[in-house]
Amino acid sequence: MSETTVKPAQGKLGVMVVGLGAVTTTFITGVLMARKGLTKPVGSMTQYDRIRVGEGADKKYLKYNEIAPIADLNDIVFAAWDVYPANAYESAINAEVLKEKDINPVREELEAIKPLTAAFDHNYAKRLDGDNVKTGTRWELVEQLREDIRKFKADNNLDRVVVLWAASTEVYVPVDENVHYKLSDLEAAMKADDKEHIAPSMCYAYAALVEGAPFIMGAPNTTVDIPAMWELAEKTKMPIAGKDFKTGQTLVKSGFAPIIGTRCLGLSGWFSTNILGNRDGLVLDEPANFRTKEVSKLSTLESILVPEEQPDLYTNYYHKVRINYYPPRNDNKEGWDNIDIFGWMGYPMQIKINFLCRDSILAAPLCLDLVLLSDLAARAGRYGIQYFLSFFLKSPMHDYTKDEVPVNHLFQQYVMLKNAIREMGGYKADELID
């Protein structure tokens, strides 16, 4: 083991979340309840997982905070932006994810979290109609968001801040080389109030990075996955991560596809469909918003079962993804996967997976892990795309300008995660991604 150069997690960590809906209120309530010893943060890698460090006689299995200095749950202070004015307690009740008995013990703390006005453009989420919003050009929105971050930091005497997007999926924004490739072009477009190419989420990301806060994109939006933002992250020496929380169906896909590939079975088709009824489902019922999600969900399989590597097994398989808005389910999402495979001598077989999951229950621990690990990365001097966080994300960021292929294979992503934690703890990254 060598000496680690990671700065300690001193002082308080501010967590500013874009969106105060089902995911965010479940995340915040769970952290506040866990701090009181009233619940367990189940599903959180940073709180439960153990990683091997050292080899041979020196081998031991340690929790993440025993390897590297991860912020303590007691040191987190929350804030949020939202288009609706309801406080975190009201939002948690309205979301109907958690029972009142699991919210009421931290009611006062939740009521104190009143959402800041949001940088919002109705054209990017036509199904949402809140009035707790900022006004101004894209550049003016950036300036207002920067002021929000500075004020939150000062008012709460915070040492550090992380900004996390847990709001709705925006309409699909195609990457435009004239706007999104250079930081100077992006800034010019913001100043020119180019509403077509500058999504509201880009304003949050820009404000966060310039204010020295890591930024995490928890939706499939075009936000930090553009070269202009990579340039800004490098300039500000800040970590960025994205995109889209890997919660239900894609988690299953990124874990199950390796079974087919490792066993050298063939794939004819993979049909995935979802039903969900929360605000996320409502927004995704709009075709332009679904397009953003579809691109994210479709990308997983093709980098795990690669036709060029096994032409006999994976040439011309059919991959389809659908999301259906179905209000009776609320936050209880149902993911159906029908997988048509073939084996010895080409004989067909089928696999059916029906995952009756709870979207926010799966997303909340991801929010915690992404926040704590992004903060750790910042203190470790890591900046730009944090590849090791791909484990938590549906559509991991990669440099497509250099034909880089994202790692979507869950177990390869886990190796990347473990190696990064080892390195930040002063240990050797001693596992290979084969």
For position 275, which CATH number holds?
3.30.360.10
Q: What's at 42, amino acid-wise?
A: V
Residue 7 lies inside a defined structural domain of this protein: no
Query: Is 224 found in the same domain as 271?
Result: no
Query: Is 282 found in the same domain as 237?
Result: no
Query: Is 179 found in the same domain as 233?
Result: yes
Query: Is 81 found in the same domain as 127?
Result: yes
Residue 1 lies inside a defined structural domain of this protein: no
Query: Is 65 found in the same domain as 35?
Result: yes
Query: Is 180 found in the same domain as 35?
Result: yes
- Looking at the DSSP bridge assignments, the partners of residue 162 are 15
- Domain's final residue, options 358, 382, 416: 358
Residue 6 lies inside a defined structural domain of this protein: no
Residue 8 lies inside a defined structural domain of this protein: no
Q: Indicate the number of domains in the chain.
A: 2
Note if the pTM is more than 0.85: yes
Residue 64 lies inside a defined structural domain of this protein: yes
Query: Is 199 found in the same domain as 127?
Result: yes
- Looking at the DSSP bridge assignments, the partners of residue 324 are 275
Q: Where are the alpha helices (DSSP H) in 156-194?
A: 177-180, 183-191
Residue 241 lies inside a defined structural domain of this protein: yes
Query: Is 130 found in the same domain as 84?
Result: yes
- Looking at the DSSP bridge assignments, the partners of residue 322 are 273
Buried b (16+ CB within 10 A) or exposed e, 72-86: ebebbbbbbbbbbeb
Written as tens digits, the pLDDT of the chain (434 aa) is 556 689 999 999 999 999 999 999 999 999 999 999 999 999 999 999 999 999 999 999 999 999 999 999 999 999 999 999 999 999 999 999 999 999 999 999 999 999 999 999 999 998 888 999 999 999 999 999 999 999 999 999 999 999 999 999 999 999 999 999 999 999 999 999 999 999 999 999 999 999 999 999 999 999 999 999 999 999 999 999 999 999 988 899 999 999 999 999 999 999 999 988 877 777 777 887 777 777 766 678 988 999 999 999 999 999 999 989 899 988 888 999 999 999 999 999 999 999 999 999 999 999 999 999 999 999 999 999 999 999 999 999 999 999 898 999 999 999 999 999 999 999 999 999 88
Please answer whether residues 388 and 419 qualify as being in contact, where contact means their C-beta atoms are separated by less than 8 angstroms. Answer: yes
Longest dimension (CA), the chain: 68
How far, in Å, CA of 327 to CA of 277, rounded? 4
Query: Is 197 found in the same domain as 85?
Result: yes
Query: Is 165 found in the same domain as 109?
Result: yes
What is the Rg, in whole angstroms, of the alpha carbon atoms belonging to the chain?
Answer: 21
- Domain's final residue, options 358, 375, 409: 358
- What is the extent of the structural domain holding 35? 13-245+361-424
Pairing assessment for the beta strands 239-242 and 384-385 based on DSSP bridges = parallel
DSSP class of residue 113 equals: -
**Measured at the alpha carbon of residue 70, what is the angle toward residues 47 and 14, in degrees to the nearest 5?**
100
Please answer whether residues 350 and 339 qualify as being in contact, where contact means their C-beta atoms are separated by less than 8 angstroms. Answer: yes
Query: Is 275 found in the same domain as 202?
Result: no
Residue 107 lies inside a defined structural domain of this protein: yes
Domain containing 61 — which CATH number? 3.40.50.720
10 Cβ contact partners less than 8 Å away, ≥ 6 residues apart: 159
Residue 432 lies inside a defined structural domain of this protein: no
- Domain's final residue, options 338, 358, 378: 358
Query: Is 182 found in the same domain as 305?
Result: no
